[in-house]
Amino acid sequence: MSVEYVSTRNKNDRVTASQAVLQGLAPDGGLYVPTEIPKLDVSLEDLSKMSYQQVAYEVMKLLLVDYTEEELKNCINNAYDSKFDTEEIAPLTYADGAYYLELFHGRTIAFKDMALSILPHLMITAARKNDLKNDIVILTATSGDTGKAALEGFADVPGTKIVVFYPKNGVSEIQEKQMVTQKGDNTFVVGIHGNFDQAQTGVKKMFGDDELAAALDAKGYQFSSANSINIGRLVPQVVYYVYAYTRLLASDKIALGDEINVTVPTGNFGNILAAFYAKNMGLPIHKLICASNENKVLYDFFSTGTYDKNRDFHLTSSPSMDILISSNLERLIYKIAGESDAKDRDLMSDLNTKGVYEITDEMKKGLADFYGNYATEQETSDEIKRVYEDTGYVLDTHTAVASCVYQKYLKESGDDKPVVIASTASPFKFTRSVMQAIGADDASVSDIDLTDKLSEVANVAIPDAIKEIKTAPVRHDTVCEVDEMPQVVKKFLGI
Ligand SMILES: *Cc1c(COP(=O)(O)O)cnc(C)c1O
């Protein structure tokens, strides 16, 4: 049987993998899920002898079945190349009794690079396969990090353009510098006088604007989005769990068949869902440990079976996890509802209208693979300090949330199987918070200059991504009002 994709809200909406990549979200608002999760068809032993790129092919070919071998290998080789600062792409570092899977060796030193460096290639390949005549214009609103990772992914990819809107006074100094210095003739970065929600609403309006779509079409363009529910972002994330397991195998840290635990700092539930898919493909994972910050909606969900977004929103030191609606959770809901689109529709409609839904006892049984907990701001900061003082290894704030929650799991369960902790950002991305935690902050210097001191205390070279923004020229200085967003896009596209 061949894997296809169906919408979580309508099983009759059935598309190929490449069509799902092009569509992103299903027309009914559902998320595309594979009709089955295939088992790995190469042994873990054989995989342990392969490179990252080879493992990526063996995993992704099973879920993106309508891509040819040549197409998929091209996408992989274009994505996982010298853009990463290590040949291993996603190296494991052992510290404090855990294996930290470093997913931050790409262009923006955070884990979004793992998927966003391949998504553009998956998209243009899909466009070609499906006889799309237009070039793709990616529209994104960003609160800081995803926009930059998308810019880096799409920069200079033929057949694409990318426009990123960010709140002019709503991102950090480092984040703004990273975006406005972006290279690539097909990139366009715009600050708006407004907040992130207004930027996002403006982008959504443009996606729904038929007149604008017609004007684009006449010029040979069409909009698409690169957001985290795209199956083309999820599938590449399965790869590094398989890679991590097989590296432990290759270095005799585990024996064939040994189970490991996996801990993931979670926001939108994409990264941990990829680990769940890896487990379902046959990777020997025991528990999936879901770590939240003070926005602990997922912890409450795993403990009670009720998902309730009606609560105060906390701004934390791990901003990429400050989320009250974890979009990708819908894919798990669909699965534990016995792949019932009707049930999924009901629950998502409750979420939409009341902000809350409750799953049945039967569905709760489907959550047995997961353990959820959370870390407060103080606990997160203490964890960075503890791990640094014990081992010299410096965690970023998101990874520290995961590390802290893993310690809670260990204490509660006594389950000390080898653990892989997804390390989702370089500490250099959150220098101020990290330096405050280890007691080495210097309030008199800027965030960018503080990286010199972090480099000293962590004994790690400053990543190129940071070095470059110190000297890179500003290439984007457009600023507009919220209601001018469509005109700005038109002007960039010459319409
Ligand atoms: C996006 C992000 C997360 C959360 O990942 P999800 O897939 O949204 O759960 C965690 N840490 C960092 C640094 C991120 O950028």
How far from 178 is each of 120, 146, 342, 470, 471, CA to CA, in Å? 20, 12, 44, 9, 11
The tokens 């585990």 sit on which residue? 254
Write the residue with the smallest CA distance to atom 2 of ligand 1. 320
Q: How far is the CA of 479 from the centre of ligand 1 (A)?
A: 28
The total of other beta-carbon atoms located within 10 Å of residue 413's CB is 13
Confidence tier at 186 by pLDDT (50, 70, 90): very high
Give the tens place of pLDDT for each residue, 10-36. Answer: 999 999 999 999 999 898 989 999 999
pLDDT at residue 144, as a whole number: 75
Q: How many Å lie between the centroid of ligand 1 and the Cα of residue 280?
A: 21
Instruction: State in Å: Cα 215 to ligand 1 middle.
Output: 35
User: Which of 238, 273, 320, 331 should be mutated for ligand 1, with most atoms under 8 A from CB?
Assistant: 320
Share of the chain above pLDDT 90, in %: 89
Domains of the chain: 92-110+232-470 (3.40.50.1100)
* pLDDT tens column, 412-461: 999 999 999 999 999 999 999 999 999 999 999 998 899 999 999 999 99
Q: How many other C-beta atoms can be found within 10 angstroms of the C-beta atom of residue 296?
A: 19
Mean pLDDT within 32-45: 97
Round the average pLDDT of the chain to a whole number and report it.
95
- Centre of ligand 1 to C-alpha 23, Å, is 22
* Cβ contact 72:61 at 8 Å: yes
pLDDT at 1: 55
Exposed, middle or buried by CB within 10 Å (0-12, 13-18, 19+), for 131? Answer: exposed
Distance set, CA 390 to CA 180, 193, 339, 394, 433 (Å):
39, 45, 46, 10, 19
3-state helix, strand, coil in the chain (%, to 5): 45, 15, 35
Burial zone of 255 (CB within 10 Å; 0-12 exposed, 13-18 middle, 19+ buried)? exposed
pLDDT tens-digit series, residues 339-375: 999 999 999 999 999 999 999 999 999 999 999 999 9
> How far apart are the CA of 267 and the centre of ligand 1, in A?
5
Tens digits of residue pLDDT in 276-314:
999 999 999 999 999 999 999 999 999 999 999 999 989
Look up residue 282 and give its two tokens. Answer: 């046959």
Mutate to test the pocket of ligand 1, among 103, 105, 111 (most ligand atoms within 8 A of CB): 111
Could you tell me which residues come within 8 angstroms of residue 210 by beta carbon, excluding any fewer than 6 positions away?
none
- Which protein residue has the closest C-alpha to ligand 1 atom 15? 320
Distance 103 CA to ligand 1 centre (A): 11
Pocket of ligand 1 from Cβ distances under 6 Å: 110-112, 145, 228, 265-271, 320-321, 398, 424-425
DSSP tag of 144: S
Count other Cβ atoms within 10 Å, centred on residue 215.
16
Burial (CB count within 10 angstroms: exposed 0-12, middle 13-18, buried 19+), residue 43:
exposed
Ligand 1 pocket test: pick from 146, 271, 325 the residue with the most ligand atoms within 8 Å of its Cβ: 271
Angstrom distance (rounded) from CA 102 to CA 108: 13
Task: Give residue 70 CA to ligand 1 midpoint distance, Å.
Answer: 31
User: Of 458, 40, 65, nearest to 246 (Cα)?
Assistant: 40
Distance 326 CA to ligand 1 centre (A): 11
Looking from the CA of residue 268, the nearest atom of ligand 1 is 8
> Which of 228, 424, 429, 434 to mutate for ligand 1's pocket (most ligand atoms within 8 Å of CB)?
424
Distance from residue 115's CA to the centre of ligand 1 (Å): 12
